[in-house]
């Protein structure tokens, strides 16, 4: 074409080198800005997809980590509830034991107190709910915490029945003491082992006192069995909390390892890239100067016509 500018080979070579240097500078500045040496599959397909796989795995486990944390909170709710329940049962036990040396009026109040403690235990069981799940009011309740996408990588915790109708154990350690948390106080103490209301016993008579002590001992034995049951269930729950905490710590560390592995594939060495930028900028300045030198030959020809 008549208006086409024809460059000499020297000028064209220097211009091409300068364009390449400018492209490298742009790439290096991009790496410094983003911190990534592999930002897309175009940069390095193999490293890009390897890093993406590691990051996808890390993201999947991060979502599981939230579920593990919620599982821990659910079980911690149960542990706190069982500890509170044990305290209330201990109070029932103390109230029964103290009745041995109380007056008639005091024993009448003690019987009412026992009933109130039973009622409060039932209310506590009903309130021990975390995000709609209550592991203390039914054996049908179950907590399932998944650790990964594998079907068998999970922890399942079955619920227990600590309702008043099943919670208290007899002296043989079986739940055959049927309580109603809202029943009369006399019914409650009879379930524990007393054949009559506490206030009706005349403890000034040795024979009646001996009978009362025998019934109180039975009640305390039953309450001890109940406390042991609470402690056993609480220990099991606490063990499961420990398991979940171990898995949570492992998941945290595993996610970090996966992320670090991906970073090794895709992150730029900022010190190296900074040094590269300085060298490229120097090369660019030299390229501009070389281009100027290459054009001097044509300027010399122009001088012949002046």
Residue-wise pLDDT for 107-137, tens only, equals: 999 999 999 999 999 999 999 999 999 999 9
Q: Which residues contact 257 (CB under 8 A, 6 or more apart)?
A: none
What would the mean pLDDT of 189-207 be, rounded to a whole number? 91
Lowest mean pLDDT among 83-97, 99-113, 140-154, 263-277: 263-277
Quickly state the pLDDT bin for 261 (edges 50, 70, 90). confident
Cα 133 from Cα 139, distance rounded (Å)? 12
pTM assigned to the model = 0.72
Q: Tell me the Cα Rg of the chain.
A: 40
Q: How far is CA 258 from CA 31, 55, 57, 147, 264, in A?
A: 22, 7, 7, 16, 10
Quickly state the pLDDT bin for 262 (edges 50, 70, 90). confident
- Beta carbons of 245 and 155 less than 8 angstroms apart: no
pLDDT at 154 over 70: yes
CATH superfamily placement of domain 75-228: f41 fragment of flagellin, N-terminal domain (1.20.1330.10)
- pLDDT computed for residue 113 by the predictor: 95
Cα 78 from Cα 71, distance rounded (Å)? 11
| Tokens, residue 265 | 């594939």
Q: Which residues contact 164 (CB under 8 A, 6 or more apart)?
A: 118, 121, 122, 125, 179, 180, 181
pLDDT at 305 over 90: no
What would the mean pLDDT of 166-194 be, rounded to a whole number? 83
Kind and range of the H or E run holding 145? strand 142-146
Lowest mean pLDDT among 139-143, 154-158, 174-178: 174-178
Q: Where are the domains of the chain?
A: 9-35+268-304, 75-228
Lowest mean pLDDT among 74-78, 134-138, 170-174, 262-266: 262-266
- pLDDT computed for residue 59 by the predictor: 87
What would the mean pLDDT of 167-192 be, rounded to a whole number? 83
């Amino acid at each position: 074409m008549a208006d086409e500018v024809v460059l000499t080979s020297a000028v064209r070579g220097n211009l091409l080198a300068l364009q390449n240097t400018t492209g490298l500078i742009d790439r290096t500045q991009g790496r410094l800005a983003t911190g990534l040496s592999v930002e897309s599959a175009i940069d390095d397909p193999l490293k890009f997809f390897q890093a993406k796989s590691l990051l996808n795995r890390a993201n999947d486990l991060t979502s599981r980590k939230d579920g593990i944390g919620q599982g821990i909170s659910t079980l911690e709710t149960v542990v706190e509830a069982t500890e509170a329940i044990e305290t209330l049962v201990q109070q029932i036990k103390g109230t029964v034991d103290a009745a041995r040396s109380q007056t008639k009026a005091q024993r009448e109040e003690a019987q009412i107190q026992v009933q109130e403690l039973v009622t409060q235990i039932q209310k506590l069981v009903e309130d021990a709910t975390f995000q709609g799940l209550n592991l203390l009011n039914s054996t049908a309740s179950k907590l399932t915490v998944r650790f990964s996408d594998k079907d068998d990588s999970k922890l399942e915790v079955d619920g227990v029945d600590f309702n008043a109708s099943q919670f208290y154990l007899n002296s043989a350690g079986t739940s055959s003491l049927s309580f109603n948390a809202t029943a009369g106080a006399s019914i409650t103490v009879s379930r524990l082992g007393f054949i009559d209301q506490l206030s009706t016993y005349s403890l000034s008579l040795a024979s009646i006192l001996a009978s009362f002590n025998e019934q109180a001992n039975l009640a305390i034995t039953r309450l001890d069995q109940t406390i042991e049951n609470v402690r056993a269930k609480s220990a099991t729950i606490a063990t499961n909390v420990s398991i979940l905490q171990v898995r949570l710590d492992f998941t945290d560390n595993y996610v970090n390892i996966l992320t670090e592995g991906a970073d090794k594939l895709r992150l730029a060495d900022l010190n190296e890239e900074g040094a590269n930028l300085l060298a490229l900028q120097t090369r660019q300045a030299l390229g501009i100067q070389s281009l100027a030198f290459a054009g001097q030959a044509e300027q010399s020809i122009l001088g012949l016509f002046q």
